Amino acid sequence: MAIRINGAEIAVPDDARVSLLGLLREQLHLTGTKVGCNQGACGACTVLIDGERVLSCLTLAVQADERSVTTIEGLSGAGSHKLQDAFIEHDGLQCGYCTPGQICAADAMLREIAAGVPSYITADLAAPARLTREEVRERMSGNLCRCGAHNGIVDAILQVAAERTA
């Protein structure tokens, strides 16, 4: 019984009520992942499980048994992630509270686009989606920013996407 968190094997809590978010913050002191609404409405707690973005507040830690979890600490590693640099450059934050969730979500979202997955606003469901400003806004709608830095967030994500395809 173990969860791989940022590469380390972590024992699954004995109490099945412990959320993945609670395990990360209160037992492992990985406080980069934030508690926002704690009810699946804001995206601040977004982490990656097996590379896919999920909400750690609505995930029981035990559900992640035998799976691989990556948090903002794991994404940035020893330095900083390209998305973090781009968020700073484009003022994609003010208070910064939602930022770890935004970065984790954006990291997974760029892979979803690369895999050709459509969104609700993709005109042609049969063709691979193109990364437009509108697509980024729709695909990032699960991450709220109460400071209203969304325009900068979209700019930052589009810049990183452009660099990757350049």
Partner 1 sequence: MNPLSYHRALSTADALSRAGDGAARLLGGGTNLVDLMRKGVERPSALVDVTALPGTIEATAEGGLLIGAAARNSAVAAHPLVRSQYPMLARAILAGASAQIRNMATVGGNLMQRTRCLYFQDAAASRCNKRIPGSGCEAEGGFNRYHAIIGTSPSCIATHPSDMCVALAALDARIHVAGAAGMRTIPLVDFHLLPGDRPDIETLLAPGDIILAVEIPPSPVARNSAYRKVRDRASYAFALVSVAAGLSVREGSVEDVRIAFGGIAPKPWRAFRAEAALRGGPATREAFEAAVIEELAGATPPPEAAFKVELARRTLVAVLTELSGSDR
The single residue among 63, 68, 76, 94 that binds partner 1, judged by CB under 8 A, is 63
- Secondary structure, 3-state, the chain: CEEEECCEEEECCCCCCCEHHHHHHHHCCCCCCCCCCCCCCCCCCEEEECCEEEECCCCEHHHHCCCEEECHHHHHCCCCCHHHHHHHHCCCCCCCCCHHHHHHHHHHHHHHHHCCCCCCCCCCCCCCCCCCHHHHHHHCCCCCCCCCCHHHHHHHHHHHHHHHHC
Q: Which string of x and - marks every residue 110-149 that binds partner 1 (by CB under 8 A)?
A: --x--x-xxxx----xx----------xxx-xxx------
Q: Which is nearer to partner 1, 21 or 86 (CB)?
A: 21
Number of residues interacting with partner 1: please give it, by CB under 8 A: 36
Residue numbers of the site for partner 1 (CB under 8 A)?
A: 15-17, 19, 38-40, 43, 46, 52-55, 58-60, 62-63, 65, 105, 108-109, 112, 115, 117-120, 125-126, 137-139, 141-143
